[in-house]
Amino acid sequence: MTSTSIRPQRAIIGGEISSTAETYEAVRGGDGVVRPAAGNVSLVAHEGVVVRPLHRVSPSEPALVWRRDDIRPLVRGYVEACRSALAGTAGSGGFASKIK
């Protein structure tokens, strides 16, 4: 499966969110929507934000994606942290081998 088979056009990224507070402000301000994990709903469900359950939507699998040539320490550190975390879950559903 390729990205073009899922989305025929390139995604348009209007901004990047780096915290829960920024997520709340972006959603409250009408700049975007968010599909939080069930355990994170309470972090964005405050004044001015309406939360609705999604029905008939299959569970999602998070994906970590980065540019191959991105050498920023924060990006590389996060990738390595994910690899380490997934390696620690071997045998219990971890997918460490999928992070390349």
Tens-place pLDDT, residues 35-52? 787 788 888 888 888 888
Which spans in the chain are helix H?
A: 3-6, 20-28, 41-44, 73-87
Residues whose CB falls within 8 Å of the CB of residue 15, separated by 6 or more in sequence, listed in order = 26, 31, 32
| pLDDT for 55 | 81
Label residue 99 by pLDDT band (50, 70, 90).
low
CA 11 vs CA 3, 8, 25, 87: distances in Å: 10, 9, 22, 30
Q: What's the CA angle centered on 94, arms 68 and 100, to 5 degrees? A: 15
Label residue 13 by pLDDT band (50, 70, 90).
low
Higher pLDDT, 23 or 92: 23
Q: What's the CA angle centered on 82, arms 51 and 87, to 5 degrees? A: 125
pLDDT at 84 over 70: yes
